[in-house]
Each structure stands twice: as C-alpha cells, then as structure tokens.
Amino acid sequence: MGNIFGRKRRTRVTEQDRAVLQLKQQRDKLKQYQKRITLQLEKERNLAKQLLKDGKKEKALLLLKKKRYQDQLLDKTENQISNLERMCQDIEFAQIEMKVIEGLKVGNDCLKSLHEAMSIEDVERIMDETQEAVEYQREIDEMLAGSLTQEDEDAILAELEAITQGDLDLPEVPDESLPEVPEAAEEEPGQERPRKKQEREMLAV
C-alpha cells in the first residue's frame, strides 16, 4: 500500500533535456574555474607588489607576465560561459516552439475531423432547408391573414373579449331592488327624552 501511494510519477527525460543539463554543468565548472583563477591572480598581484618592494624586479616582472596570460584565459573562459548559456537558451526555446507546434497540430487535426463530419455541402443544404421552411411558414401566415373577412375579425375579437370576461368570475348582481330604510322621526324642539330630563333634575338638587 505504501509503495503504491508513495510512488512518484516519473517524468520523461528527452535528449534535449540531457543536452541542456550537460551544458549547464559545463558552464558551472567554467564559473568555478573562473573564480579560482581570479583569486589566484589577486594573490599573484599582491606578491608582485611585495617583490618590487624587496627589490626583486625580475621575479616581479615574470610573475606579471604569468598574470597577463591568465587574464587572457579568463577572457576566453567568459566567452565560453556566454556561448554555453546562449546554447542552453536556444535549446529551451526550441523545446517551447516544439510544444507550440504540437499544440497547433492537435488543433489542426481536430478542425479537420470537424470539417469531415460537416462538409460545406451539408451546411448549404441545411441553410437551404431552413430558408424554405421560413418561406413556407410566411406563405401560410399570408394565406391565413388574407382569408379572413372583417366580419371574421370582429367575431374573433368578440370571442376574445367574452373569454376574457369569463375568466374574471365576477359575482352576479341580484335583479331585485333593496328595501328602503325608514327615515328617523324628527324630534320636536320642545321634546326631550325622559332619561335626559331626569338627569338634569338630579343635578339641580
């Protein structure tokens, strides 16, 4: 179980990947050599100064000639490093271009399969059939519109209005008239209700 779930997916290493790896390794070695020579040249320069102070001019001159030769080696090393880096970049960019070309090829194959499934003749036939169906429907609409008279139009509108009113379901209004409400008898100014008269007498006491 542990081996199954713990197994790492192995990536496919191409010849281009190996070439780029070797170029980068060679570049790193040259950089290490360049660093070592630079430190050595600095030491020899300081040593040449010391020899001049000690009056050993010939030894100092010989040491400076050696230093000059190593400076030229450093220049060559720098050019080689630049060439290696340029080569790595060219190979990596070529790999990207190859992936783009592969993607374009897949897309082109997909388009070809779609074109084979639906040819130009099929598209033209479908468009013609669609146009014929639209024209046929237009002819039917024109025939229906021309066959109806004004009386038919009025009857259709009346039927529509009747259907609309029927959907409202309004309650029926009764035909019988409502009974009249008797008017209240007007009280004479001098008359008062017995209860109010009794209340005023109690207040007067």
CA dist 55 and 133 (Å) reads 112
Would the pLDDT of 22 be above 90?
no
Question: pLDDT confidence of 200, banded at 50, 70, 90?
Answer: low
Res 192 pLDDT > 80:
no
- pLDDT value of position 197: 56
Per the model's pLDDT, the better-predicted residue between 31 and 193 turns out to be 31
pLDDT at residue 185, as a whole number: 45
Instruction: Read off the pLDDT band of 195 (50, 70, 90).
Output: low
Average of per-residue pLDDT across 144-172: 72
Q: Which residues contact 26 (CB under 8 A, 6 or more apart)?
A: 84
Mean per-residue pLDDT, 183-205:
53
Report the mean per-residue pLDDT for the chain: 76
* pLDDT in the model for residue 193: 54
Average pLDDT over residues 72-94: 88
pLDDT score of 73 more than 90? no
- Per the CB < 8 A criterion, the answer to whether 107 and 28 are in contact is no
CA-to-CA separations, 22 to 16, 25, 87, 88, in angstroms, rounded: 10, 5, 11, 9
pLDDT > 50? residue 33: yes
pLDDT, average across residues 132-156:
78
The model carries a pTM of 0.43
How high is the pLDDT of residue 198?
A: 59
Q: What is the mean pLDDT of residues 39-50?
A: 84
Region 27-45: mean pLDDT is 86
pLDDT at 194: 55
CA dihedral 95, 101, 102, 108 (to 10 degrees): 170
The 3 state secondary structure assigned to the chain is CHHHHHCCCCCCCCHHHHHHHHHHHHHHHHHHHHHHHHHHHHHHHHHHHHHHHCCCHHHHHHHHHHHHHHHHHHHHHHHHHHHHHHHHHHHHHHHHHHHHHHHHHHHHHHHHHHHHHCCHHHHHHHHHHHHHHHHHHHHHHHHHHHHCCHHHHHHHHHHHHHHHHHHHCCCCCCCCCCCCCCCCCCCCCCCCCHHHHHHHHHHHC
Better-scored residue on pLDDT, 129 or 51: 129
Q: How many CA atoms lie within 13 A of 190 on its CB side?
A: 0
Residue 19 has a pLDDT of: 83
CB 49 within 8 Å of CB 78: no
Helices 15-53 and 57-117, packing angle to 10 deg: 160
In angstroms, rounded to a whole number, what is the distance separating the alpha carbons of residues 33 and 200?
Answer: 134
